Amino acid sequence: MKTIGTCIGLISCLIVSACDSGEESNDQETTENDQVEQRDEDAKKVFQDALAEANEDHDFKPENDAGEEPDSVFALIHRGHQIMNGYNENGYDDRPYNVENLKDRAESNIKEDIPEAYVNTDDDVLKKDLEDIFYITYELKENVENDEERDHLVRKLRDIYADLDYYFLGNETWGSMDVTHYAESQSENGQSDS
Instruction: Give the Cα separation of 66 and 69 in Å (integer).
Output: 9
Q: State yes or no: pLDDT of 135 exceeds 70.
A: yes
67-71 mean pLDDT: 64
Instruction: Give the Cα separation of 6 and 9 in Å (integer).
Output: 5
pLDDT band at 194 (very low <50, low <70, confident <90, very high): very low
pTM for the full model?
0.73
Identify the weakest region by mean pLDDT among 28-37, 40-49, 83-92, 141-150: 28-37
pLDDT band at 33 (very low <50, low <70, confident <90, very high): low
- The overall longest dimension of the chain from CA atoms, in Å, is 95
Cα-based distances in Å from 182 to 93, 177, 178: 33, 11, 9
Q: What's the pLDDT at 74? A: 93
pLDDT band at 105 (very low <50, low <70, confident <90, very high): very high
Write out pLDDT tens, residues 165-188. 999 999 998 888 999 999 999 888
**CB under 8 Å to 90, separation ≥6 — which residues?**
97
